[in-house]
Structure 1
């Protein structure tokens, strides 16, 4: 008790008027629980004031939560606060091992007593107490919103979490504006008991002997004119010069403070990251252009951009600086973005060397050392992670940040001893990163993060080999070969991979990473990788491959590969199935068992997708646009991340649980040339006490191009049950239990059926802000059941004719167009346009010129033409665009609309915009597979087309084609 009185006395002294920057303590009643529960309120089962929880004095608060569903609640009395003023909550706590399941909250309330720190209003101010070996002090800083009148402290164990945490010695103080700049919340990573293991000095000495006296970077300096002049002769080099010329005398985009602070205020991370990335792109373009041209004309703009980057308040991205420690300069650490900035500037220094002015070069090196290398050396020397949690992390961050720091140090640090220390630390971090993969090489983060994380690992491997003249290799773990093979084994067909976890639906193996794999593990590749355009590579891969001859590596791989019938990641519980069906083409599927504690986890045990000819029509929806919520304790509020937005059941009204125990077990597997069949027991994925059985049977029939999925459920008491399919494509309900899921290229017929109950169809859009929203095709049993099954049969559609909303080419034999007598209108020869403006240019494959940027809804174009004689005509257009599901246009002739107002004509996707290659295709003006025939009198007419959907459509020409009588 005496100690606590002394603490309060000290705070009172700090609050005295003579102290310029003194914190002002609030009169918090019973801050150390010496009057037991006086001044506090809440439940008494999980939250107990007890002597065993005392840090000082007689009592402390112990939160002991053994309930997997409910959380604790313990709150201080309300205290008056000032609006838009910062406050610091301080306390001592110890956590014996419940991994941050208990949090201390600082909550503000308005005059009506309504909580302001709630979803949809202001972000929560919370400090989850990390696992600690003993008592530790913690600080939580938060700012009162403008409406705030009172505040209170809330201690809460999260719903579904269990464990025990002790608290004592709470204080709450008002901060002056000056104090707000220096006082910050305790970093959870720094407070954790995790530390970086000490490096072995003997190993450092060994590594130092492998390194040259002077540092060196990747690629060739500008002074190596033979290397750069050879690259300058490549046709693609001109585009780099042209892009750089457009940047001369321009300034980098602004990065104002208010844009950085948006993430902490409303969770938006993209508005800052866009100009942040543009600054990186500018330097990369100017750097390559200057090295290619070697005339100095890009140097002034490049040096301007380098200084602008050095002047940035923080290199760390806002989403990784939620406590604003980097922003306020309180503590510097590396994240994905800041470490990449350091590496980029190091490469710039290495390539340009003394071409950069002394002032710029000194500033560049000072900032890279201050922001990136010095904090990393502090981790190595002290073991204190200090925000560098990734050095002992098992996901992509480890490889990306470690690679960036290692390459930066090898490029800039003069001391071989220091470079060796970084390599020794890398040897500690690398096995931790590799442990994030299953032994069979599966990357649960998805293909996009495999490209990013493992791609950086391969870049680091090549950089280390180069720096040590081939004497040190990081390719010494046998799992690396399996991880390399992930790119081949995860593809359902060329360029199509399952979008499990935070993977994009269009993700595919990166050419950059495959090129590096081809050097070391060619046996793992599907087929040969050739450099298509070296200037499209990232700078690292460009530096590693563009200056040499990759042919010897490429020749070790077959030019064209063939996928096997299946790939089975048995350790991860992932099955990929493939077929080349003679009638329907490429047919494939994937299904996962796994568990719900994977890297970039979704609650998706049992999820699957079915694909046809390179497109997944029945899908796992993949990643959402990242916001503050995505990586918070509210992650699974999102239906894109919880099981509701996946092709999975809702069991007794509940979704899947999160955690390693929420898993699926493959209890049966039968594979043959014609059929693959597995059964997954995933009862453990649902926390439903009444659930006695839940099994998913999945059958892939190659011979008949058919997939059958069946869920069998048994309850101890009658419960509700429903299932679903997910799609991004168009859906047409043929009857109560039959659907067509399709786009303009094809699709699937789906039949649903049930045993033990009656199905009710319930389609629903899944909210996916700032990105295309998937549709959940729910099938629910109408009444609670004891035992039931829901099954789906999925087969390719035999025809799109009769399905609404997509272009179907008419059969010319049915309307007999006379193409040789057609009247051609060049698209660029329009006579009028309204509500927009197209750009005319030469495009590959176009007859003369063409136009682009016809992408504004309501933008109309008009042409005039004359027909020599009265008769029937059809319209044929030569067009291109990249939308698989087509684009829509209203069409009128002489003021008469040829289509219904709400049913515009559709034009099919052609695979691209004919920007660098001929991607034009001919399309008739047609509806439901029938050409639109127009009666025209001899003489002049007008034709108008209006953008009906806001999508782009490039036109080369329009032809008015006579139709034979």
Structure 2
């Protein structure tokens, strides 16, 4: 169906400034604009020259991921694979999730302490639209077409597309202003993919209404942000997962629905430039301070953004060409401790693992040579109509051969994120040792930060025996700086790090580890971190944590804290664990988790030690904090804790 796009633009009754931007090739180079310097890549006028270059790379028609329902070759192949039979059986009596005003306002009216109910309801509706679209495109029998149209219409008319947590003052719900954030960008891309996949099965009137809604709630607010530099839609200059998630939805929706090439090129240029902010949030060594769950989410959307632009420009614009991407892509294999176990640093839960579809895409695209991810197969996933569709259909990675196997990654003895100060130590291949460890330096101003400088995780077999407890369920105030570190699991109290004169670590960039010594050999790895800046304690002269990982025999790891004050003060450290534990001697604990057992010995030369234990949950899985403290204040000393498998 062909449409005169600018007629639709005029029908939207846009602000004159935005209408000028749209119709005049988005040329705002002559509009006075105060450039923000807060972000690595600040807001700036749209680059007309770059937009013109990109325009020449684009096809005449918009295109999304996969193929429309009318192009049957791949759709029929997917149907015949048998991977979607269970999904289609479950869809026969599918009821589209309704919008719940009660859930949307549950956080604000005091019926819930978390925005989880409202957020889940919102995202289930996006998932519902994806599912009915998948079902119809697989079968092509018009069994679900009416349900697709009804669901699409329902979502278009939904007052807000944003998470309740993001609807400040309920401006979105009341139609005062519109925010592009994690959920609304998901809605936009899901709607756009539905229009693209269903093609002419969506009525002309409904298609026009849907595209108008995209302009009103997504496209125009972003253009206005760039033009006016208002306080809304700050994702463009964020350096965390919001940047890539929102850009992926914004650009993907534009490329799948907008007829006008100038406009499509504009949004590609926006994605190309502002996505650099998200990359800058990763360490120069590729480390993701947000943890592996948010890596899956944030960098997964960067990969999706890359594929959208790659397909639209025929590979002429490739966001993977940035050299830093190669390092970020290796974050997962470099962070693995052993046996597919990863640390639960930051807002990450214990047991979290990499997204296999993402890693398959990265391994092939960047020639990482990761064997476990190089086999491509039809998964049968239908949870969204964006990346699951991108991976089910031919994409830029599927035609590539796997890279040469790289044995320098997860099978190596260690990996040191030297810029961040995170060391992962592993046993030698074929040795009798089956324990690994990771020590975290970093700083206390990372995105989704916990105050955890010096934290660690000890793994034996496939069990996390002790260390960082990970995330707790999000509450209403968990991101409020006034309350965030009152939670024990987010403050340093719930981590295996010292208490200095009863003081926990402070937040902020000034709390930063410094690597003062390292020595790596085939038998032993040793590193020392100065972590004194993490504590705002008058009179603290020295606080260093040394980790020694020994690969010999069954293996062991020792943490030694060396401290000094100007006058006598208290000192305490902690063993943090979800293992079953008991004290078996004055200086020894036994940790048991499933079939693994580990001894923990502790000492402080010249000092008497005592224990105090506490069970902590704060809504998440319970864990024990076993405080180990020197009985009386001291001026200086050492605290030594060793973990060793019990034979």
Q: What's the TM-score once normalised by structure 2's chain length?
A: 0.89
Q: Is the 8 A contact 1:692 1:716 kept in 2?
A: yes
- Which of 583, 586, 590 is matched with 2:438 structurally? 590
- Which of 566, 570, 575 is matched with 2:414 structurally? 566
Q: Encode CA deviations 1:110-137: one digit per residue, 9 max, x unaligned.
A: xxxxxxxxxxxxxxxxxxxxxxx9xxxx
Q: Which has the higher contact order (CA 8 A, sep 6+)?
A: 2
Supply the distance in 2 between the matched residues of 1:386 and 1:793 (Cα, whole angstroms). Answer: 51
CA distance change for structure 1 residues 407 and 551 in 2, over 3 Å: closer, same or farther?
A: closer
Provide the secondary structure at the position in 1 that maps to 2:63: coil
Supply the distance in 2 between the matched residues of 1:300 and 1:605 (Cα, whole angstroms). Answer: 55
The 5-angstrom pairing of residues 449-460 of structure 1 reads 449-460=294-305
Q: Is the 8 A contact 1:197 1:383 kept in 2?
A: no
- Which of 236, 241, 246 is matched with 2:88 structurally? 241
- Which of 175, 179, 202 is matched with 2:49 structurally? 202
Provide the secondary structure at the position in 1 that maps to 2:168: coil
Provide the secondary structure at the position in 2 that maps to 1:567: strand
Task: Give the drift of 1:195.
Answer: 6.8
Provide the secondary structure at the position in 2 that maps to 1:757: coil
Name 1:648's counterpart in structure 2.
497
2:458 corresponds to 1:613: no
2:386 corresponds to 1:540: yes
Q: Is the 8 A contact 2:66 2:394 kept in 1?
A: no
- Which of 212, 230, 237 is matched with 1:392 structurally? 237
Supply the distance in 1 between the matched residues of 2:591 and 2:371 (Cα, whole angstroms). Answer: 30
Supply the distance in 1 between the matched residues of 2:274 and 2:246 (Cα, whole angstroms). Answer: 10
Supply the distance in 2 between the matched residues of 1:360 and 1:198 (Cα, whole angstroms). Answer: 34
Task: Give the drift of 1:519.
Answer: 3.2
CA distance change for structure 1 residues 592 and 562 in 2, over 3 Å: closer, same or farther?
A: closer
Supply the distance in 2 between the matched residues of 1:254 and 1:212 (Cα, whole angstroms). Answer: 37
Provide the secondary structure at the position in 2 that maps to 1:535: coil
Q: Is the 8 A contact 1:228 1:291 kept in 2?
A: yes
Q: Is the 8 A contact 1:333 1:386 kept in 2?
A: no
Q: Is the 8 A contact 1:518 1:554 kept in 2?
A: no
Task: Give the drift of 1:584.
Answer: 5.4
Q: Is the 8 A contact 2:433 2:551 kept in 1?
A: no
Q: Encode CA deviations 1:482-532: one digit per residue, 9 max, x unaligned.
A: 011111101112421111111221222211211221332123636443234
Name 1:796's counterpart in structure 2.
645
Q: Encode CA deviations 1:763-788: one digit per residue, 9 max, x unaligned.
A: 1112321x212210110111111112
Task: Give the drift of 1:621.
Answer: 1.1
Q: What's the TM-score once normalised by structure 1's chain length?
A: 0.60
Q: Is the 8 A contact 1:443 1:486 kept in 2?
A: yes
Name 2:532's counterpart in structure 1.
683
Supply the distance in 2 between the matched residues of 1:618 and 1:482 (Cα, whole angstroms). Answer: 28
Q: Is the 8 A contact 2:523 2:550 kept in 1?
A: yes
Name 2:548's counterpart in structure 1.
699
Task: Give the drift of 1:386.
Answer: 4.0
Supply the distance in 2 between the matched residues of 1:783 and 1:498 (Cα, whole angstroms). Answer: 34
More strand by share: 1
Name 1:351's counterpart in structure 2.
197
Supply the distance in 1 between the matched residues of 2:535 and 2:369 (Cα, whole angstroms). Answer: 37
Q: Is the 8 A contact 2:577 2:625 kept in 1?
A: yes
2:78 corresponds to 1:231: yes
The 5-angstrom pairing of residues 361-376 of structure 1 reads 361-376=207-222
Supply the distance in 2 between the matched residues of 1:562 and 1:642 (Cα, whole angstroms). Answer: 30
Q: Which of 401-410 and 234-243 deviates more?
A: 234-243
2:579 corresponds to 1:732: no
CA distance change for structure 1 residues 569 and 781 in 2, over 3 Å: closer, same or farther?
A: same
Number of matched pairs:
605
Provide the secondary structure at the position in 1 that maps to 2:336: coil
2:509 corresponds to 1:660: yes
CA distance change for structure 1 residues 708 and 258 in 2, over 3 Å: closer, same or farther?
A: closer
CA distance change for structure 1 residues 656 and 398 in 2, over 3 Å: closer, same or farther?
A: same
Provide the secondary structure at the position in 2 that maps to 1:722: strand
- Which of 187, 191, 195 is matched with 1:341 structurally? 187
- Which of 165, 185, 191 is matched with 1:319 structurally? 165
Q: Is the 8 A contact 2:603 2:639 kept in 1?
A: yes
Q: Is the 8 A contact 2:336 2:410 kept in 1?
A: no
2:124 corresponds to 1:278: yes
Task: Give the drift of 1:246.
Answer: 2.9
What is the CA RMSD across the aligned residues, in angstroms?
2.2
Task: Give the drift of 1:719.
Answer: 0.4
2:615 corresponds to 1:758: no
Q: Encode CA deviations 1:287-338: one digit per residue, 9 max, x unaligned.
A: 1111110001112222222222222221110111233221222110111011
Q: Is the 8 A contact 1:403 1:457 kept in 2?
A: yes
Report the structure number with the largest CA radius of gyration: 1
- Gap runs ≥5 in structure 1: 1-132, 134-188, 799-965
CA distance change for structure 1 residues 526 and 686 in 2, over 3 Å: closer, same or farther?
A: farther
Q: Is the 8 A contact 2:359 2:373 kept in 1?
A: no
Provide the secondary structure at the position in 2 that maps to 1:323: helix
2:592 corresponds to 1:747: no
More helix by share: 2
- Which of 264, 267, 286 is matched with 1:422 structurally? 267
- Which of 348, 351, 367 is matched with 1:503 structurally? 348
Task: Give the drift of 1:467.
Answer: 0.6
Supply the distance in 2 between the matched residues of 1:614 and 1:751 (Cα, whole angstroms). Answer: 22
Supply the distance in 2 between the matched residues of 1:749 and 1:334 (Cα, whole angstroms). Answer: 51
CA distance change for structure 1 residues 583 and 479 in 2, over 3 Å: closer, same or farther?
A: closer
